[in-house]
Structure 1
Amino acid sequence: MRAADAGLSRLAFAALVAGLGVLLIAVLWGGAVYPGYDHARQFMSELGATGAVTGPSVSLWGFAPNGVLVTIFSLLAAWILRRSALAVVACLLLAGNGVGMTGAAVYPCDFECSRSDPSVAALLHDLFGGLGYLCAIVGVGAAALWARRTDAPLLAPLGVVVLIVSGVGFYGVVAELELRGLYQRAMEVALAVFMLALGWALMKGVRGVRA
């Protein structure tokens, strides 16, 4: 591994850990101070919604930095894996997830993420959030395909599991099932686990096709 890429790998992993950490803290804090909030039945976006007591804090100090840092991680990973077109595409799709989170922070949903007479900001929130999740899911699938030909054998099966969990979670979010909050968190955790595994593999020197 080139020294420059080794340094970028560590920087990328640090950005990812910081991004996931700030999101976790924001959601836990927001859920604790939001009256009657139910993590299992309510979207995370409700914590950053317009009019919510936690709205500006969670959006600006939780969702936005998470999106920016995940984007940074993904773009650095794309550069490190630049010798593989499939890996670059996968990482750019993962970056789309970060961009989606950032956009969803800039344009919060309406109070309690109500769908009745949605504002322009709420429509943009759903657009950014939905496209971000779709990019992440497709990106994990592409990364799993790429990982099959690398010297990081666990990434591929992990990617398949994450693909299934995140696909089911996305369905629960879109269909707004009763436990939609749980479905969303399962998807978020699954995607986070895969990105952490990818970041760790990069630090350990995975770059391309195994011999």
Structure 2
Amino acid sequence: MHSNRTLKLGYLAGLITPLWLILGVAAAGSLYPGYSHIDQAMSQLGAEGAPTQSLSPVINNFPLGVLFILFGTAVALSFRSRWARLSGLLIMLHGLGSFGTGYFACDPGCAPENPSANQNLHNLAGLIMAFSLLLAGALWVWLGRRLLTSPGFAVFSLFCTLASLGALPLMAAALESGHGFGLYQRINYGASLLWVAGLAWMLMRRPCT
């Protein structure tokens, strides 16, 4: 039987993920002369040749990976439902993807015509991150009613999932135009992190069983 204290620590890890990302990206961006949070991808903070190449993974990707793995583990251990446990595994997979995007630095600019092996592995890890967390959130559109008896959280999960999805075509268009990619990427990822924090908050408030 897993102690309530252990699970609470896992929930706390999920609760602080949005704040950690905000502080980490802001700190790295402040040390990158001319960096634009509106136009540039977060990955450019750790790109080859960037002034924050070594720092960004250490304060962003790696600690966030740990937080996601801790939270995903807590979610998986909190329920007997296989779907809830699957959502926990997806959150853990997202954490592993965070390690991957930090370890495999993207090429300068992160969008080369002839990507290196590191760039391809970075992109793969990024796709794993995006779709694992998106799917985890989508599962709770249904699980929110069934396991938490909370129609409100189910609606919240739907809103965050749709917001994250809705930002994807905007990111693609911004990539073509060269303007606004950073903004839409932050909306996309921010919606998913808001959902993570929301689930963590709901789980922290559950009565002990």
TM-score (norm 1): 0.89
Q: Does 1:90 align with 2:87?
A: yes
* Deviation digits for residues 150-198 of structure 1 (CA, Å, limit 9, x no counterpart): 3233210001101111112233335525311111101221111111111
CA distance in 2 between partners of 1:60 and 1:91 (Å): 24
Q: Is the 8 A contact 1:133 1:170 kept in 2?
A: no
Alignment of 1:9-48 (within 5 A): 9-48=7-46
Structure 2 gap ranges (5+): none
Q: CA deviation at 1:116?
A: 2.1
- Aligned amino acid, residue 181 of structure 1: G
Q: Does 1:102 align with 2:99?
A: yes
Structure 2 match to 1:190:
191
Q: CA deviation at 1:61?
A: 2.1
* Deviation digits for residues 119-139 of structure 1 (CA, Å, limit 9, x no counterpart): 111110000011210111111
Which stretches of structure 1, 4 residues or longer, exceed 4 Å deviation after superposition? none
CA distance in 2 between partners of 1:146 and 1:16 (Å): 18
Farther off after superposition, 86-95 or 98-107: 86-95
- CA root-mean-square deviation: 2.0
CA distance in 2 between partners of 1:154 and 1:207 (Å): 21
TM-score (norm 2): 0.89
Q: CA deviation at 1:47?
A: 0.5
Q: Is the 8 A contact 2:24 2:59 kept in 1?
A: yes
CA distance in 1 between partners of 2:168 and 2:130 (Å): 7
Match of 1:156, SS?
helix
Structure 1 match to 2:202:
201
Structure 1 residues 24, 147: CA separation in 2 closer, same or farther (over 3 Å shift)? same
CA distance in 2 between partners of 1:108 and 1:90 (Å): 28
Match of 1:112, SS?
coil
Match of 2:54, SS?
helix
Q: CA deviation at 1:108?
A: 1.2
Q: Is the 8 A contact 1:64 1:101 kept in 2?
A: yes
Q: Does 1:71 align with 2:72?
A: no
Q: Is the 8 A contact 1:97 1:131 kept in 2?
A: yes
Match of 1:55, SS?
coil
Aligned residue pairs, count:
205
Structure 1 gap ranges (5+): none
Farther off after superposition, 4-13 or 137-146: 4-13
